[in-house]
């Protein structure tokens, strides 16, 4: 029977599917400005909202896989928490029961795959004709990605159509009900659609090939088998995506185990209480609904616990962020201060490159390009959580040094260093907080706002260059002069920006609301730039040879 599989078509479908998943996540990341994040979080901000979003969106799209994959993409893009994503996935499972009712009552299934080609076509044309608009280009990419996703699924399904047709359900009754459960899992895993399996089950029920109990077990298997699509979508993803995908498997298999324990009761409820013994098709549709309702009732309250254990099972990889204080004892204050100064500049270097990557000034986060004491080139991918952890370790090391007796000179050297470390962390947080606002400014259609967005990026690029220059320049006097010029450049850029906004609003190029957005963003941007330059000055002052202090 397996010779009926078209292996190359299946592999092509899998490749297109995974590429569509990757492209969808990337386009969501690029689109995730403030307004987009607000919209997503508005509908998935709590477990209840996530559950309802999963139910409603799956009822409309008629594909729990589509909704679950979107939830995975949102988790991967950092827009949805794991707990709320699990709620969406559970809601999608309940929402997909509508498909069974549509097939049972009306005899047809709404096929979202039919929109794959139009999505690819419209999205592809948008990439060409809307190339000058950042927002619409990424919307077009999202359309193409969504089209690829379902085009790949369609390829995988069509590659096994002959296999599905040749799958003889009538040969299974003598093998027991467990075989029907496994058959439902197998069919759904191969066809990549629980809806397709349910349609096959309801058709064979209608023709009398199998009975209600066999159909119910196959529907249970279909619920488990559909998790394969979600697991495929998590391939190569970050731990958060794997956690969300695993939650789907836990929900489906866990619900099946619970239902198996009370299977006679559910059969009695469907066949005797609701009197569907003469209408097995509607009976299985009801069974499918009861199955998922039980799953929601059992697992919805347990979502935080499940999320906690999944985070331990698929932990985020933590980067060792300290470079100097990790190998230095706090018992020798003089050596500890030197290590502390180096570590704080290391913090500065990591932070400015992290900020630059968030503002897409570099394609890749190549942070510690500077050479360490062993002349080895370092390369790390740093997260905001890493920077917070580094700041905490710096402060902890400072506290350990304070526990030993310090001279007045040593204490005076440490205080400005710690102020610099706090300022670096505050500036990093500020730059991240205004990123969405600045991205929204850059996504506007007005040329002046796009120009203002480029101005912000250019100023940040100059700030990054300043950090690299100071790092590579050991001469204290040159650094002091250079940083003074940098500070003056920050002030000049701030003054010029305000004057340009003032002239533009006077000429009617921008309106009052727009100038308010620009000035507020510029205010925090300038304050953060000042903090970084002043921090560099504090760190650099500690380069002064001891005889000159």
Q: Which token pair is 204?
A: 């064979």
Is residue 454 situated within a structural domain? yes
Mean pLDDT on 39-60 = 79
Match 């040329």 to its residue by tokens: 447
Calpha distance 305→478 (Å, rounded): 56
- Residue 486's contacts (CB-CB under 8 Å, 6 or more residues apart) are 463, 466, 533, 536
Is residue 319 situated within a structural domain? no
Q: Say if residue 95 is in the same domain as residue 224.
A: yes
Is residue 320 situated within a structural domain? no
Q: What pLDDT does 73 receive?
A: 75
Is residue 489 situated within a structural domain? yes
The CATH number of the domain where 488 resides is what? Answer: 1.20.58
- Higher-pLDDT residue of 373 and 305 is 305
Q: Say if residue 58 is in the same domain as residue 134.
A: yes
The number of domains in the chain is: 2
Q: Say if residue 272 is in the same domain as residue 349.
A: no
Q: What pLDDT does 545 receive?
A: 45
Q: Say if residue 117 is in the same domain as residue 15.
A: yes
Calpha distance 92→67 (Å, rounded): 6
Q: What pLDDT does 380 receive?
A: 53
Q: Are 220 and 258 in contact (CB under 8 A)?
A: no
Domain boundary among 313, 345, 372: 313
Chain segment 151-166, per-residue pLDDT in tens = 776 776 666 555 555 5
Calpha distance 384→429 (Å, rounded): 9
Q: Say if residue 55 is in the same domain as residue 155.
A: yes
Q: Say if residue 304 is in the same domain as residue 422.
A: no
Q: Say if residue 132 is in the same domain as residue 7.
A: yes
- Higher-pLDDT residue of 14 and 439 is 439
Range of the domain at 113: 2-313
Q: Say if residue 255 is in the same domain as residue 388.
A: no
Mean pLDDT of the chain: 80
* pLDDT-based confidence at residue 546 (cuts at 50, 70, 90): very low
pLDDT at 375 > cutoff 60: no
Chain segment 272-286, per-residue pLDDT in tens = 888 887 788 888 889
Mean pLDDT on 377-391 = 74
pLDDT at 297 > cutoff 80: yes
- Residue 157's contacts (CB-CB under 8 Å, 6 or more residues apart) are 13, 113, 191, 192, 193, 196
Q: Say if residue 247 is in the same domain as residue 330.
A: no
Is residue 540 situated within a structural domain? yes
Is residue 390 situated within a structural domain? yes
Is residue 321 situated within a structural domain? no
Q: What pLDDT does 548 receive?
A: 39
Q: What pLDDT does 372 receive?
A: 42
Chain segment 158-191, per-residue pLDDT in tens = 665 555 555 555 555 556 677 888 888 887 787 6
Is residue 490 situated within a structural domain? yes
Q: Say if residue 380 is in the same domain as residue 302.
A: no
- Higher-pLDDT residue of 489 and 380 is 489
Q: Are 365 and 346 in contact (CB under 8 A)?
A: no
Lowest mean pLDDT, pick from 65-74, 201-210, 341-350, 370-379: 370-379
Calpha distance 241→233 (Å, rounded): 8
For the chain, what percent of residues have pLDDT higher than 90? 24
pLDDT at 130 > cutoff 50: yes
């Amino acid at each position: 029977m397996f010779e009926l599989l078209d292996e190359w078509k299946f592999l092509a479908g899998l490749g297109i599917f995974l590429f569509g998943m990757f492209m969808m996540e990337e386009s969501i990341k690029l689109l995730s400005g403030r307004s987009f994040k607000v919209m997503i979080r508005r509908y998935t901000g709590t477990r209840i909202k996530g559950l309802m979003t999963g139910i409603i969106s799956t009822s409309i799209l008629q594909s729990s896989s589509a909704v679950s994959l979107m939830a995975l993409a949102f988790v991967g893009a950092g827009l949805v928490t794991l707990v709320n994503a699990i709620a969406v996935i559970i809601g999608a499972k309940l929402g997909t029961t509508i498909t069974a009712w549509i097939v049972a009552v009306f005899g047809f299934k709404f096929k979202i795959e039919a929109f794959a080609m139009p999505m690819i076509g419209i999205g592809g044309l948008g990439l060409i004709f809307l190339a000058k608009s950042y927002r619409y280009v990424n919307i077009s990419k999202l359309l193409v990605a969504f089209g690829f996703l379902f085009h790949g699924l369609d390829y995988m399904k069509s590659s096994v159509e002959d296999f599905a047709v040749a799958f003889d359900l009538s040969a299974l009754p003598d093998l027991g009900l467990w075989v029907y459960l496994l058959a439902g899992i197998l069919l759904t895993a191969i066809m990549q659609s629980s809806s397709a399996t349910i349609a096959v089950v309801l058709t064979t029920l209608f023709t009398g090939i199998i009975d209600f109990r066999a159909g119910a077990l196959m529907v249970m298997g279909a619920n488990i088998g559909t998790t394969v699509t979600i697991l495929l979508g998590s391939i190569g993803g970050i731990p958060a995506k794997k956690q969300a995908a695993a939650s789907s498997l836990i929900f489906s298999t866990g619900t099946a185990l619970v239902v198996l324990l009370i299977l006679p009761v559910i059969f009695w409820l469907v066949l005797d209480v609701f009197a569907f013994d003469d209408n097995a098709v509607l009976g299985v549709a009801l069974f499918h609904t009861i199955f998922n309702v039980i799953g929601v009732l059992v697992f919805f309250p347990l979502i935080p616990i499940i999320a906690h254990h999944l985070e331990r099972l698929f932990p985020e990889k933590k980067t060792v962020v300290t470079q100097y204080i990790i190998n230095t004892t706090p018992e020798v204050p003089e050596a500890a201060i030197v290590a502390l100064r180096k570590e704080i500049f290391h913090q500065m270097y990591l932070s400015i490159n992290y900020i630059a990557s968030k503002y897409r000034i570099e394609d890749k986060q190549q942070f510690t390009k500077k050479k360490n004491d062993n002349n080895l080139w370092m390369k790390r991918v740093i997260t905001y959580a890493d920077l917070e952890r580094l700041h905490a370790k710096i402060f902890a090391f400072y506290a350990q040094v304070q526990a030993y007796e310090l001279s007045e000179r040593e204490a005076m050297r440490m205080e400005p260093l710690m102020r610099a470390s706090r300022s670096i962390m505050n500036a990093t947080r500020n730059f991240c907080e205004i990123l969405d606002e600045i991205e929204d400014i850059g996504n506007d259609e007005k040329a002046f706002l796009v120009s203002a967005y480029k101005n912000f990026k250019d100023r940040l690029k100059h700030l990054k260059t300043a950090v690299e220059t100071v790092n590579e320049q050991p001469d204290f006097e040159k650094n002091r002069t250079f940083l003074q010029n940098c500070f003056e450049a920050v002030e000049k850029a701030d003054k010029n920006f305000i004057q340009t906004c003032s002239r533009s609003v006077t000429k009617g190029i921008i309106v009052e609301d727009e100038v308010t957005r620009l000035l507020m963003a510029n205010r925090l941007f300038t304050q953060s730039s000042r903090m970084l330059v002043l921090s560099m000055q504090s760190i650099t002052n500690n380069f002064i040879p001891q005889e000159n202090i």
